[in-house]
Amino acid sequence: DGGITQSPKYLFRKEGQNVTLSCEQNLNHDAMYWYRQDPGQGLRLIYYSQIVNDFQKGDIAEGYSVSREKKESFPLTVTSAQKNPTAFYLCASSGLAGPYNEQFFGPGTRLTVL
Amino acid sequence: GNSVTQMEGPVTLSEEAFLTINCTYTATGYPSLFWYVQYPGEGLQLLLKATKADDKGSNKGFEATYRKETTSFHLEKGSVQVSDSAVYFCALIDTIGTASKLTFGTGTRLQVTL
């Protein structure tokens, strides 16, 4: 089955630690995205990537980093510089741009900083 | 910049009641519009979409019509079920190169009771 997988589902980290969230897709999509969701808020774009070895900052990139070494993978690192990292993180992917360019979402990773 | 405004929730309805969730948007041009649904603890699923004025998106008994004159995309369902309980997000899309950027509303929680 084609889709997007994220791991782990739940993640706990201590303050001051970096942590990496995994996102893999087998939809053969070129573009991939990371969003952050906080209670009572919509999703906010952290980073996106249009092709391998290229990525762009979204609206709230500070304290985060990404890489795109393979088409199917787009890991997100939450660094110790992120002041309030506890949130639900969602990865998405999409095909070529156009009016039907819907994004497909993974199941999410809930990160809690202890 | 682009923005999406949704009615605040939670919306609580009895089973078989009529549902309307209001959504209005601000954007340059005529973006495609989407409704996504999020069930508890899960990622987002595309519910329906419309790509131009007067288009009606529909899926699983839900409908929404792209109204250019009122910049609205209200979600409706004639008879809700308990299984429809979820958070609903309205969104619009911008094309950015070969990727796309979704701008989300804050989400509306729907609770359906027997």
Could you tell me the two tokens for A47? Answer: 């980073």
Give the burial string for A29-43 (b: 16+ CB within 10 Å, else e). Answer: bbbbbbbbbeeeebb
Going by C-beta distance under 8 Å and a sequence separation of 6 or more, which residues neighbour residue A1? none
Going by C-beta distance under 8 Å and a sequence separation of 6 or more, which residues neighbour residue B45? A105, B36, B37, B38, B39
Residue B32's nearest CA partner among B57, B7, B8 is B57
Asked if the Cβ–Cβ distance from A40 to B89 is below 8 Å, we say no
B8 Cβ under 8 Å from any chain A Cβ: no
Could you tell me the two tokens for B59? Answer: 């899926």
Asked if the Cβ–Cβ distance from A107 to B107 is below 8 Å, we say no
- How many Cβ contacts (< 8 angstroms) between chains A and B? 77
- The residue with tokens 């340059």 is B28
**How many of the other CB atoms lie within 10 Å of CB of B4?**
24
In angstroms, the separation between the Cα of residue B71 and the nearest Cα of chain A is: 17
State the pLDDT at residue A55. 94
Residue B88's nearest CA partner among B1, B8, B2, B26 is B8
Which residues of chain A make contact with B59, given a CB cutoff of 8 A? none
A25 Cβ under 8 Å from any chain B Cβ: no
Amino acid B100 reads S
Sign of the Cα torsion B36, B95, A40, A3 reads positive
In angstroms, the separation between the Cα of residue A29 and the nearest Cα of chain B is: 10
State the pLDDT at residue A100. 63
A108 Cβ under 8 Å from any chain B Cβ: yes
Asked if the Cβ–Cβ distance from B4 to A42 is below 8 Å, we say yes
Residue B44's nearest CA partner among B54, B36, B56 is B36
pLDDT tens over chain B, length 114 residues: 889 999 888 999 999 999 999 999 999 888 899 999 999 888 899 999 999 899 999 999 999 999 999 999 999 999 999 999 999 999 998 777 777 788 999 999 999 999
Weakly modelled stretches of chain A, pLDDT under 70: 1, 96-100
State the pLDDT at residue A97. 61
> Cis bond leading into A8, ω under 30°?
yes
Could you tell me the two tokens for A109? Answer: 């990773």
State the pLDDT at residue B18. 98
Q: Are B58 and B49 in contact (CB under 8 A)?
A: no
B106 Cβ under 8 Å from any chain A Cβ: yes
Which residues of chain A make contact with B105, given a CB cutoff of 8 A? 42
Which residues of chain B make contact with A101, given a CB cutoff of 8 A? 32, 93, 95, 100
